[in-house]
């Protein structure tokens, strides 16, 4: 018969896992709202101004949440090169994401971004010599084919142009950003990395502010800017807290909920409804991602 001593730790672990899943799902909803606010702001403001406002709001929110608890010691890092590299790749990811969000439905963009974990497997094999099984290579190929089906660079009767390369830049920069984040997780506290990731792009682009600044036309745009800062700052911290509650393998399947949130917000705010080909591509990427998670949980390389 199971004793109370055995049951209580198991129940506590179950509650902790559920809490981590709830935090991760909430973060995904905030990220989808962040993309919606970015798309709305980008329709009336220059790209660099939108990104500067986003990083400014995010930096203020992150600092207000981190410094009162951790003090100035949160800025202490022994690996400034990696912090600068992650901040730079994060900024470039934001640039590519901005243009993708403006030219694609939100759900299509989110599904494309969801292919990054599949690329991380290949990058780990190339950079760190990790063995990749034929099953994972197959998942990668299917995932990339699904991205092409979603993006459809030959669509609208146009030849393959520079806009078709935007998702490629998004995936490459996003993969670099995630790999550096994974490395920094073992070297610096997550709060330190978050501070550098938000403040470095802000400081780097501030001298250019007079070149791209223009008056904000109305209150809704300022509201969208505030939403970007709050959703980005709070969303990333919620995700970090989720990983503190349970394992990445338990959380990973629920990260694909962002596709559903993006689909709902794209329909609600912009009247965007994915067609059958886009839905098939989203489903394929989600299934490939879930299969990759399952392989990781089962301990297969």
- Per-residue pLDDT reduced to its tens digit, 166-216: 888 888 898 888 788 777 767 888 888 889 988 999 999 999 888 888 887
User: What is the 8-class DSSP label of residue 165?
Assistant: G
Q: Which residues contact 239 (CB under 8 A, 6 or more apart)?
A: 23, 24, 27
CA-based nearest residue to 106, from 284, 276, 271, 223: 271
Find the range with the poorest average confidence among 119-128, 149-158, 218-227, 259-268.
149-158
CA distance 165 to 93: 13
Pair 38, 113: CB distance under 8 Å: no
User: Tokens for 76?
Assistant: 């202490």
Radius of gyration of the chain (CA): 20
pLDDT per residue as tens digits for the range 211-249:
888 887 778 888 888 888 888 878 877 887 787 777 666
User: Tokens for 127?
Assistant: 């950079």
CA distance 123 to 136: 12
Full-prediction pTM beyond 0.85? no
The domains of the chain are located at 47-210+224-297
User: What is the 8-class DSSP label of residue 186?
Assistant: T
Please tell me the predicted confidence (pLDDT) of residue 297. 65
List Cα–Cα distances, 207 to 93, 196, 201, 203, in angstroms.
20, 18, 11, 8
Q: Is 20 exposed, middle or buried (0-12, 13-18, 19+ CB in 10 A)?
A: buried
User: Tokens for 48?
Assistant: 């660099």
Our CA angle for 282, 286, 290, nearest 5°, is: 170
Q: Is 55 exposed, middle or buried (0-12, 13-18, 19+ CB in 10 A)?
A: buried
- Which whole number is the average pLDDT over 253-266? 85
CA distance 152 to 104: 10
User: Tokens for 17?
Assistant: 């896992």
């Amino acid at each position: 018969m199971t004793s109370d001593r055995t049951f209580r730790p198991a129940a506590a672990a179950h509650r902790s896992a559920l809490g981590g899943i709830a935090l991760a799902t909430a973060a995904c909803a905030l990220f989808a709202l962040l993309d919606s606010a970015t798309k709305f702001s980008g329709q009336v403001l220059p790209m660099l101004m939108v990104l500067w406002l986003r990083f400014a709001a995010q930096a203020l929110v992150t600092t207000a949440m981190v410094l009162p608890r951790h003090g100035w010691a949160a800025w202490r890092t022994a690996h400034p090169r990696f912090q600068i590299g992650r901040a730079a790749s994060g900024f470039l990811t934001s640039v590519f994401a901005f243009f993708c969000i403006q030219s694609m439905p939100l759900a299509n963009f989110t599904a494309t971004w969801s292919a990054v974990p599949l690329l991380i497997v290949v990058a780990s094999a190339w950079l760190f010599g990790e063995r990749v099984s034929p099953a994972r290579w197959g998942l990668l190929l299917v995932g990339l084919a699904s991205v092409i089906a979603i993006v459809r660079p030959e669509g609208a009767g146009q030849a393959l142009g520079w806009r078709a390369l935007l998702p490629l830049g998004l995936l490459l920069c996003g993969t670099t950003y995630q790999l550096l984040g994974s490395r920094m997780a073992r070297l610096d506290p997550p709060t330190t990395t978050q501070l550098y990731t938000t403040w470095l792009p802000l400081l780097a682009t501030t001298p250019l502010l007079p070149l791209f600044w223009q008056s904000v036309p109305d209150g809704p745009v300022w509201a969208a800017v505030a939403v970007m800062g709050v959703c980005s700052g709070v969303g990333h911290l919620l995700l970090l807290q989720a990983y503190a509650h349970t394992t990445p393998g338990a959380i990973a399947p629920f990260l694909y909920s962002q596709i559903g949130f993006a689909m709902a917000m794209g329909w609600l705010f912009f009247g965007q409804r994915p067609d059958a080909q886009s839905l098939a591509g989203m489903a394929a990427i989600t299934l490939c991602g879930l299969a990759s998670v399952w392989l990781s949980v089962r301990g297969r390389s």
